[in-house]
Structure 1
């Protein structure tokens, strides 16, 4: 599928509407299991609500006009390395009364299930028992970790990337993933209130996209400020010098590019970024970047099929790589291939066609291996560009790269 910055995003929205269902509290299924984490760290996770009092809910929140003067509220999932004790025998002591850390459910809450269960039918019941490999509210490991901020696609949700985000954390990263309310399909807050993507949002959405990206950039910049002040979550204890990279899928990939472009060259925030299959438009498409940037596209999405990729390549003046992942389509870079393989024949046929044919576990390995290697090079400086290239080449023939092999 060619990922035009408009049509590709709309397709992602349709896929998300069909795919997203929340689940009950942490219940580990003995029948349904996500792929095991590939990194060396066990993983903890927490869901947070944070409020930016300097901004209000966007005017596009036409289905919740009473919120238009309220401050911007974000729901954020954080995945992070936890202690080995947490994962011992699947659980660990949380207090003297022998309570335990449980594996977090794949979806954060059951109360929003009605918004999605008509699309998945019997699969809804199956997925309510699906747990991640991340332990809810577990303590963060003492080792220092750099931060990756992840931005989801238009009409999607942070929840539909949980397997990917947890696997990144298992490689040593703190991963922070917000929902972008009102262009996320469905965001639920701890008080039970909900921010939905309004039906009218797609009526003129090509003209809405620049404004949506601007709001998203402000979202992630706000979160970076909380991370640098150590106030996002007391369990993280981050500082003003914390290294922060950014990546995203679809509109989130464009958000990553725009955020890197706006970041100060003297800041530890956003010195490099990565885009999973998002069309490039807006100011960064013209001004380009002088910092490292990674483009990862679906099988039929490259400079030949997308003029935005071709032009963007010409204005990338720092380290640049463009990789194509075989047997994928635009929505493959959500968790859909993993959920497809978990559910087997219960996975809806129409979504099967929108998830590509790459095996879910292998695709997860490719994605997190590339992201880990790239940010070790450009963010933490613990690897070289040659190291990244060697890692990428090791994933052939499932991927191919432009110009460096």
Structure 2
């Protein structure tokens, strides 16, 4: 069941979390300030220009878990990757139709329906991939969120020398548009109060991840660049919970990051030894109402970190804060500035991946940093000002 948390005042319905609190009544949200114009994603911080392309794959071995009339599981996969191409058409953030359906589903009113389609990205559409032996990072979004809401993180990782495969889990967000204009809306939204809903979602997403890993070599021309011995997964909210589930199901996923997601997949009592990092808001401090991280922390027997960003909220780990100006939303008191929270998320996610996929030791992950005082190492420094 969902609990909707604010990333900014009036943006409380941007997407739902993977928490297990009762669903709160929702009402349409109107802008509380004058829109600033189209959003601009921050420039990637790595050395490489970034390309992006979209794949569509269809798993004929299993029926769709949400649409009982469909006997296969069809997925949209967005790839970001290094390229040598510096000029070209920037990829759209969303199509006007996707923007319309997302804003409608999120109940954000008072701005043009195509507002999010005008967001300026940094990746060049269908650019030629470049590099060799690149680690692969799978990204999974929060429930009701399309994959595109993790674009800022994906572009940054690609600029640092990673291939990123972002999965839209069909019927779990407000709208996935397939070739020919077919729209898959959020059928799963009708089931989110059912007992065992979270477990059902992460099990399905784990199967999605394994299928995408199986398909990449034959479906993407640039797949030969990927070092398939170096695969990690990260996600926000339900996507973060799915990172744990995917690692438990598929040994190809060597390391994982859960960004502010309640976990549902149960770790064996014997423990789990692959590297894992929790990166969350203060709602995930030790002893909080959501005790899933406390439970899992004790069962993580390998390299592990539990980091909490003071001043962050549930959607801080998405592009949500970066969209506030374009939507005319006035940030809530105490929320980290959009540029700062994007910097923190990118920095710590990249440090984790560099250490565990590129074997580059990251002292940043060893202890608190004066450069990033918002980041608390749990359980040691949680709650310290």
TM range (shorter): 0.7 to 0.9
User: TM-score normalized by structure 1?
Assistant: 0.80
1:9–1:250 CA contact under 8 A, matched in 2: no
2:23 corresponds in structure 1 to: none
Residue 79 (structure 1) shift: 0.6
Task: Decide which of 352, 356, 361 is 1:374's aligned counterpart.
Answer: 352
User: TM-score normalized by structure 2?
Assistant: 0.83
Structure 2 gaps, min length 5: 17-25, 27-35
Structure 1 gaps, min length 5: 1-5, 19-28, 92-100
Alignment of 1:1-400 (within 5 A): 6-8=1-3, 14-16=13-15, 32-58=39-65, 60-61=66-67, 65-67=68-70, 69=71, 71-83=72-84, 86-87=85-86, 91=87, 101-107=88-94, 109-118=95-104, 119-198=108-187, 201-202=190-191, 204-227=193-216, 230-238=217-225, 241-264=228-251, 269-284=252-267, 288-305=271-288, 306-340=290-324, 342-343=325-326, 346-348=327-329, 352-353=331-332, 357-381=335-359, 383-384=360-361, 386=363, 388-389=365-366, 393=369, 395-400=371-376
Residue 378 (structure 1) shift: 1.5
1:261–1:288 CA contact under 8 A, matched in 2: no
| Aligned equivalents of 1:348, 1:206: Cα separation in 2 | 34
Q: Count the aligned residue pairs.
A: 355
1:254–1:275 CA contact under 8 A, matched in 2: yes
Q: Deviations over 1:21-66 (max 9, x none)?
A: xxxxxxxx996422221111110001111111112211x32xxx43
> Post-superposition, which runs of at least 4 consecutive aligned residues in structure 1 deviate over 6 A?
9-13
| Aligned equivalents of 1:291, 1:56: Cα separation in 2 | 31
CA RMSD of aligned residues (A): 2.8
